[in-house]
Amino acid sequence: MEPVAPARRLAAVLSLALGGFAVGLTEFVAMGLLPEMAQGLLPSEYVRSMPDAVAHTGWTITAYALGVVVGAPLLAALTARMGRKKLVVLLLALFVIGTVASAVAPNFPLVLIARFLAALPHGAYFGAAGMVAATLIGPGSQAKGFAAVLSGLTAANVFGVPLITGLGQATSWRVAYLAISGMFVLTLVAVLATVPPIAAAPGGSPRAELAAFGRPQVWLAAAVAAIGFAGFFSVYSYIAPITTHVAGLPESAVPWVLATIGVGMTVGNLLGGVIGDRNIKRSMLLGMNAVIVSVVLFGLLASHPVGLFVAAFLVGAACLVNAPALQARLISVAPGAQLMGAAINQSATNIANSLGAALGGVVIARGLGYTSPAWVGAALAVVGLGLALVSFRLDRRQASRPSFDVEPGATVGGIPAAAANRG
């Protein structure tokens, strides 16, 4: 990479974070606008039963999550030799097209397809942008680089998602998605202007990236995210009806609850970026235990207005404190396949999104109440914690075998060897 002035480096990282902001909008705005989307897309079902219509519309969240799951490894493999700036620009262009299609699709089936297509570049964007940010920040900054890009997503949840949710409530959910597409256009222009050319990883190829799937630790780390984080999404996906029908607050309170979750996510992300680069395993264990505790508290407190806000903050913080460490973990256990390792994390967390939204909709549709997904989510988080412990035990077994010494200064997937060994 060519030498970059500090001012341009900062501007480039902020541009990449702006992309995270736009991705946060397109992913999470649906949670706050599910009732409006249900009324507009499924009017007959909405008249018969609002809970059934909202649960049905929750499949738009699932469709987006499945798009991330498919798109992340696919695009990581196909673009392994592409320069990182070119890749980021391509992914942002795909976001613009998919988000506009989401806004103008005329019926529910086509909206589902559009949400799936809009999600295809999601995982590859966070993977590529996170590695670009890590390169700009400096060596040994994998968790910090991902946290920098993810800070845009957390900022989206603090004020972007609430503002766009309010816009959608006041006008139309379609107007909300058109506004989000404008944010992607703005990001595309900013990246073109500020991010320097960065080459792909030496020796990168589709075959090398796909080799990551042959490593058991990659699958275990992905399973931790896919199952462990489902608790967060089972709660977040239905935050609008929980706010209005469980806590008894007016519809205007939904953006404020979303903002509270966003503040929690911001705090968790900042903390996770610091402790993730220090000790990946400790950060993951802290994060998984925090998800369990916070989701249980949400189930107990959400019926009280003050309790809802407190629990919403805790759930957001618990989810994001683990994200940078999981990203670094997947990169460290997939040497030679950095982009795939980074992308798999996004696939895994969006399997969690899909799983949480789907299971949450199932228990709600069975008449168990809007807070019932919290108990399903707590059980899933316990399973995620167990998988993390299994993964770390496998690390210890591998470490006990004879191995070659690592040369000073060696790296694994861009992480100093000492840190990779801890993770």
CATH number at residue 204: 1.20.1250.20
**412: three-class secondary structure by DSSP:** strand
Query: Which domain covers residue 378, as residue numbers?
Result: 6-422
Burial of 7 (0-12, 13-18, 19+ CB in 10 A): exposed
Helix (H), strand (E) counts: the chain:
21, 2
**416: three-class secondary structure by DSSP:** strand
Q: In tens digits, what is the pLDDT along the chain, a chain of 423 residues?
A: 567 778 888 899 999 999 999 999 998 898 788 889 999 899 888 888 888 888 888 889 888 888 888 888 888 888 877 888 899 999 999 999 999 999 999 999 999 999 999 999 998 898 889 888 888 877 655 667 777 888 888 888 778 888 898 899 899 999 999 999 999 999 999 999 999 888 776 666 677 777 777 788 888 888 888 888 888 888 888 888 899 989 888 888 888 888 888 889 888 888 877 776 677 788 888 888 988 999 999 989 988 999 999 999 999 898 888 777 777 787 777 766 677 777 777 778 878 877 888 888 888 888 888 888 888 888 888 998 899 899 888 878 877 665 444 444 444 444 444 444 444
**415: three-class secondary structure by DSSP:** strand
Residue type (1 letter), 360: G
> Could you tell me if residue 1 is inside a domain?
no
Task: Give the contacts of 129 (CB within 8 A, at least 6 positions apart).
Answer: 16, 19, 20, 88, 149
> Could you tell me if residue 190 is inside a domain?
yes
Q: Cα–Cα distance between 340 and 343 in angstroms, integer? A: 5
> Could you tell me if residue 252 is inside a domain?
yes
> Could you tell me if residue 209 is inside a domain?
yes
Q: Cα–Cα distance between 383 and 26 in angstroms, integer? A: 29
Q: Given the structure tokens 């706010």, which residue do they identify?
A: 243
Q: Cα–Cα distance between 188 and 15 in angstroms, integer? A: 9
> Could you tell me if residue 417 is inside a domain?
yes
Q: CB count, 10 Å around CB of 296?
A: 17
> Could you tell me if residue 74 is inside a domain?
yes
Q: Given the structure tokens 């929750």, which residue do they identify?
A: 58
Q: Is the distance from CB of 228 to CB of 377 less than 8 angstroms? A: no
| Tally of structural domains, the chain | 1
Q: Cα–Cα distance between 157 and 32 in angstroms, integer? A: 11
Residue type (1 letter), 202: P
> Could you tell me if residue 185 is inside a domain?
yes
pTM exceeds 0.75: no
Q: Which of 133, 140, 139 is nearest to 12 (CA)?
A: 133
Residue 242's φ and ψ, nearest 5 degrees, are: -65, -40
Q: Cα–Cα distance between 245 and 261 in angstroms, integer? A: 18
Query: Across the chain, which distance is largest between two alpha carbons, in Å?
Result: 68
Q: Cα–Cα distance between 319 and 28 in angstroms, integer? A: 14
> Could you tell me if residue 413 is inside a domain?
yes
Distances, alpha carbon 269 to alpha carbons 106, 144, 241, 278, 316, in Å: 37, 10, 26, 14, 9
Exposure on the CB side of residue 404, measured as CA atoms within 13 A: 4
